Structure 1
Amino acid sequence: MCGIAGLFHLHTPKPVDPARIEAMCTAMVHRGPDGGGVWVGPGVGLGHRRLSIIDVAGSPQPMASPDGRAVLVFNGEIYNYRELRAELRALGATFRTDGDSEVILAAWQQWGEGCLARLHGMFAFALYDLAERTLFLARDRLGVKPLYYAPLSDGSLAFASELKGLLAHPLLRREIDPQAVEDYLAWGYVPDHRCILSGVHKLPAGHALLLRGNGQLPAPSQWWDVSFADRHAGRPADLEAELVHLLRQAVTSRMVADVPLGAFLSGGVDSSSVVALMAEASSGPVKTCSIGFDVGELDETGYAARVARQFATDHRTRTVSPDDFGAVDTLAAMFDEPFADASALPTWRVCQLARESVTVALSGDGADEAFAGYRRQRFHYHEDRLRRLVPQGARAALFGSLGAVYPKADWAPRPLRAKTTLLALAEAGEQAYARALAINDPATRDSLYTAAFRRELGDYRAEQPLVALMQAAPARSGLDRAQYADLRFWLPGDILTKVDRTSMAVSLEAREPLLDHRLIEFAARLPEGLRIKRGQGKWLVKTAMRRYLPDEILFRPKQGFVTPTAQWFRGPLAATARSIATSAPLARSGWFDTTRLGAIAEAHIAGRSDHGRLLWQLVMLDRSLGRLGMS
């Protein structure tokens, strides 16, 4: 796992200062503490920081092809590199190293842009072809590995694995994109179609960018997408057997490493399934680790310990307490952009724990998106079936009226929180799912903004890109479209960003076997009844894994990796909540009604409302603005 950075002049091949590339890489040294390198040519410079995983002694980067025609910097792992190496060698390629980086170079020279479809893994890379004077940027199918880029005032394009790599360049503009603030307040992160800084872009998952040095910055081209348009026709028993095969293949392919390897274990279905298959493929005990909380109802370490005992793993646990909130500035520094998924804190802590004994850790991320494991997906599935029975006009009149008068009862048991469901039934499916996914709905966001900021946003609302994505999805049903949105929007923007930054912050490589693209494509073709059944999501996964795991693990209510921020802001962090309305970067931005922010903090502290997530969002935004120099 590594960090990459570089510069490419789009107009004329001006000289590139190696020190500038070095500075961009040094800003990301945590991604690759084991070494680094810089290569420059006319109008181009490539830099690399390395975390050695495969071919530890070899495969230095930037890496040139044997004929010197192409140069590569690469972040990630290609899991089928051995098979590709054999195929390419049969076609006449020669290799000097034992790693996967050189395989990408040979694949490019053999198949050009078509090489991407042959790569199984997680990756973001930049490949410069000296003969064609082209720079090829590519990102993996699901967006496991990040890649930022931005055109600069001197006619060059800068790119880096993290925003901090670009921030090390003196010509990068530091101007906040107001639409990114709106996006962040809706979702709790800045989605991949936008960046907190105007003019900075993220290469979307499954996309590539070919730059030709002709003065043009083309739009990225999509090279992979997942389709929900077709359905498997096989018997459930056959599909279950195929699923187990794909799961086993995904896990074992990600166990290849020349350094110590382990796994995260929460005690949920997904991480437990990964550990079970790792134990099956390992001759020795699997190294596992988990994080607990000092708030009892949120702690899952007992379930993790149950799985660890069953598979005789070498298991370690650590507890997160409110004192860990003192790391908020460290979290802000990890993400550069504001990021308010509070589970980043325990994720970082479990990465720290893992890094004490391993360099690579397998996670269970991805199954909820692919196999319909989220509660919101199950609700959407049932709501969509009802929508098909009642005409839109009747739904809007009936359910819209009821939803408008029904009280918002955050304090009530979940079955009594009907307001959101009623409003969802009154809307089209795409708008309803956007409402379910958002942390703050449009009315709540508008109530936070100043009149001036609302004018600046104009007609833009954060839900619009998500709704458009769902409407254009290659899908057959509302559930399909919801899962497609989760895979294309939520997964890269939230889940994978969280895991990448927190793991890389401690120089740990995280691998996600449940995001193997063959597994994702298989899941997208499953009949809805094998995804959701008897009130359970991930139905086929749970029935398939019964041969490994007890029902106590497979069918217990999903808990998730939750951080008790609501309790923290009513206790040891109450003063932090009160400071939101007066904090310098946020208060001086002119975006928010500070009187309203103060009232929100007091209502939460008094227990009249639950604003824990919103307060965490505001704190993280404030800290990020400070780090970006917006104070």
Structure 2
Amino acid sequence: MCGIAGIFHREGLKPVDPARVAAMTDAIAHRGPDGAGVWTGPGVGLGHRRLSIIDLATGDQPMLSPDGRICVVFNGEIYNFRAVRAELEAHGHVFRTASDTEVILHGWRQWGPDCLDRFDGMFAFALHDADLGLFLARDRLGVKPLHYAELGDGTLLFASELKGILAHPRFRSTPDPRAIEDYLAFGYVPDDACFVAGVRKLPAGHRLLVRRDLPLPEPQRWWDVSFADRATGSAAALEEELADLLRQAVRSRMVADVPLGAFLSGGVDSSGVVALMAEASGQAVETCSIGFAEAGHDESRYAEQIARRFATAHRSRTVEAMDIGLVDTLAHHFDEPFADASALATYRVAELARERVTVALSGDGADEAFAGYRRHAFFAAEERVRGLLPSGFRRNVVAPLAARWPKLDWAPRPLRFKSTLEGIGAEAGAAYAQAVGVTPPRIRQRLYSNGFRHAIAGHRAEERWERLYAAAPARDALDRAQYCDLKLWLPGDILTKVDRTSMAVSLEAREPLLDHRLIQFAATLPAGLRLKRGEGKYLLKRTLSRWLPDDILYRRKMGFVTPVSAWFRGPLADTAAALGRSEILAGTGWFDMPAIARIAAEHRAGRSEQGRLLWQLLMLEKALPRLF
């Protein structure tokens, strides 16, 4: 795992100052503490920070072809690099190292951009070809990040993290108002947006070839998942196929020349990964977990149960409200504001893992692939109701009723019906966009100043979900919802969280349940083998039952949730109140500050549930001075 950055003069062959490339890579030095390198050529400079995982002796970057005409910098891992290398050697290629990086060089020479189809891995890389230009590529699911921006003179900057671009002395950062609306809607800035105007993120499964003296093109998609086809065969046969895919995915990600372990939450997914690691390993697997002082959020006892079952070398720590001091560290590493509060625990578990290992496997990805979120079951139930009601009735009766129904956060659950009514009254795509959101439009509008409403010019964050839902290669509503999860929620929230928190402590995190063959297999499963009688991940749990007990497989899903709502009513109540007086937030001109103060007071008094919104505002307050 590493960090990359570079400069490419699209118009002409102006020399690149190596010190500028070094400054960009130094800004992301935490991604690669084991080495640094810069290479410059006519009109181009590539930089690299190395975290040594494979071929510790000879895998240094930037790496050049023997004739010096191709140079690559690479962040990630190609898990099948040995098989690809053997194929290339059969074509006559001669290798000088044992690294997966060199496979990219030779793969490019043999197949050009189509080399991506042969790579099984997580990666973002930049390759300069003296004959063609600069080639940028990102892995299928977006596990590894890549940002880029163009200066006024046609100079292209790129870096693994936003801070690498901000380190260039000629880049001037200003906020993009639309991304502020996006952030408040979802708690993160989606991959098709950036908080800093003029910066773009290369989308997952896309590539970009930049040629000299030609306009900067749009990225091209090189991979996509499709829910349009259905697998054939019995449930038993599909279960065996899934078991084989799981074994292959886990074992391929256990290849490393450094110590390796796993995150273990005690949930189905991480427990399944640990079970398969234990099956494949000749020694005790290193595992670690994070617990919470609040019993309703603590899963540590389940993690300990799995650790005992598979005789792992297990360690655990507890996250408490005092860890609020970590928000400054998180703000630094995420650059853009990021309000998934589970980042606190993810950082702590990565920090714990790094004490003994350099690579850790996680269970991320299964909820998106196998319909494991509670929202999938709720959405499917709402969709059945929508199908029974005429559209006019939903539009003219249910939607107005939802608008008038009070938001009774304090009331018994049967009376907290507003979100369900809103979902039933909306079209399916809009309903799912609502389900994945954090702060709904009615609350956002309450927060915004008149000037900010004018600045976003009618932009509405949920529209991207609605468009993608409608265009998804899918057969039914659940397919479409999961496709949106894989394209928006997964790279924007889950993978951003894991990448930044693990890289903050120089730990490589690997996600075997995001193996692209496993993802495509899951997408072809009949809906009833993903979500059955309200039970998500049906076939996955059935498959894992050969390793895991029922009390792990079928207990109520807790998720890796940080109890910020309780904190803001308890030890962090003063922090919540201070948001209404924040000079940083007031100085933006974006907000109605008395509205923030009222929201904080309502939450502290228990009259409404606004813990996630307060966390969003706190993380925004911490991020702004670092960006502008």
Deviation at 1:155, TM superposition (A): 2.3
1:346 aligns with 345
2:48 aligns with 48
| Distance change (3 Å), C-alpha of 1:109 and 1:497 | same
Deviation at 1:415, TM superposition (A): 4.7
CA distance in 2, matches of 1:296, 1:142: 34
Secondary structure of residue in 1 paired with 2:352: helix
CA distance in 2, matches of 1:118, 1:514: 19
1:79 aligns with 79
The Cα RMSD (Å) is 1.0
Q: How does 1:329-478 map to 2 (within 5 A)?
A: 329-478=328-477
Secondary structure of residue in 2 paired with 1:319: strand
Deviation at 1:164, TM superposition (A): 0.6
- Does residue 113 of the first structure (1) align with residue 101 of the second (2)? no
Question: Residue 26 of structure 2 aligns to which amino acid in structure 1?
Answer: T
Secondary structure of residue in 2 paired with 1:599: helix
CA distance in 2, matches of 1:389, 1:244: 38
1:167 aligns with 166
| Distance change (3 Å), C-alpha of 1:446 and 1:322 | same
Residue-by-residue CA offset, 1:240-290 (whole Å, 9 max, x unaligned): 000000000000000000000000000000000000000000010000000
Deviation at 1:127, TM superposition (A): 0.3
Native 8 Å contact 1:153 1:171 kept in 2: no
Question: Residue 434 of structure 2 aligns to which amino acid in structure 1?
Answer: R
2:589 aligns with 590
For structure 2, the residue ranges without an aligned partner over 5 or more in a row are none
Deviation at 1:143, TM superposition (A): 0.3
CA distance in 1, matches of 2:377, 2:137: 34
Secondary structure of residue in 2 paired with 1:388: helix
2:103 aligns with 103
Native 8 Å contact 1:402 1:422 kept in 2: yes
Native 8 Å contact 1:396 1:425 kept in 2: no
2:206 aligns with 207
Question: Residue 453 of structure 2 aligns to which amino acid in structure 1?
Answer: R
Deviation at 1:416, TM superposition (A): 4.1
Question: Residue 69 of structure 1 aligns to which amino acid in structure 2?
Answer: R
TM-score, normalization by structure 2: 0.99
CA distance in 2, matches of 1:392, 1:224: 36
Question: Residue 128 of structure 2 aligns to which amino acid in structure 1?
Answer: Y
User: Identity, % of aligned pairs?
Assistant: 65
Native 8 Å contact 2:409 2:607 kept in 1: no
Question: Residue 94 of structure 2 aligns to which amino acid in structure 1?
Answer: T
1:512 aligns with 511
Question: Residue 329 of structure 2 aligns to which amino acid in structure 1?
Answer: T
1:156 aligns with 155
CA distance in 1, matches of 2:381, 2:169: 52
CA distance in 2, matches of 1:543, 1:432: 30
CA distance in 2, matches of 1:509, 1:488: 23
CA distance in 1, matches of 2:270, 2:408: 33
CA distance in 2, matches of 1:274, 1:413: 38
1:141 aligns with 140
Native 8 Å contact 2:568 2:611 kept in 1: yes
- Does residue 311 of the first structure (1) align with residue 310 of the second (2)? yes
Question: Residue 48 of structure 1 aligns to which amino acid in structure 2?
Answer: H
Deviation at 1:154, TM superposition (A): 3.4
Secondary structure of residue in 2 paired with 1:83: helix
Question: Residue 63 of structure 1 aligns to which amino acid in structure 2?
Answer: M
Deviation at 1:112, TM superposition (A): 0.5
Native 8 Å contact 2:332 2:623 kept in 1: yes
Deviation at 1:150, TM superposition (A): 0.3
Deviation at 1:152, TM superposition (A): 1.1
Deviation at 1:131, TM superposition (A): 2.6
For structure 1, the residue ranges without an aligned partner over 5 or more in a row are none
1:124 aligns with 124
1:177 aligns with 176
CA distance in 1, matches of 2:404, 2:464: 29
Deviation at 1:403, TM superposition (A): 2.0
Query: What is the aligned length?
Result: 628
| Distance change (3 Å), C-alpha of 1:261 and 1:414 | farther
CA distance in 2, matches of 1:322, 1:275: 29
CA distance in 2, matches of 1:380, 1:438: 13
CA distance in 2, matches of 1:534, 1:411: 29
Q: How does 1:1-80 map to 2 (within 5 A)?
A: 1-80=1-80
Native 8 Å contact 1:158 1:166 kept in 2: yes
CA distance in 2, matches of 1:574, 1:170: 40
Native 8 Å contact 1:332 1:624 kept in 2: yes
CA distance in 1, matches of 2:413, 2:478: 21
Question: Residue 216 of structure 1 aligns to which amino acid in structure 2?
Answer: P
2:626 aligns with 627
Deviation at 1:440, TM superposition (A): 1.1
Q: Which 10-residue stretch deviates more, 527-536 or 174-183?
A: 527-536
2:90 aligns with 90
Q: Which 10-residue stretch deviates more, 578-587 or 184-193?
A: 578-587
CA distance in 1, matches of 2:184, 2:97: 47
Deviation at 1:121, TM superposition (A): 0.4
Q: Which 10-residue stretch deviates more, 498-507 or 324-333?
A: 324-333
1:226 aligns with 225
CA distance in 2, matches of 1:238, 1:39: 52
Deviation at 1:185, TM superposition (A): 0.4
Native 8 Å contact 1:55 1:258 kept in 2: yes
Deviation at 1:421, TM superposition (A): 1.1
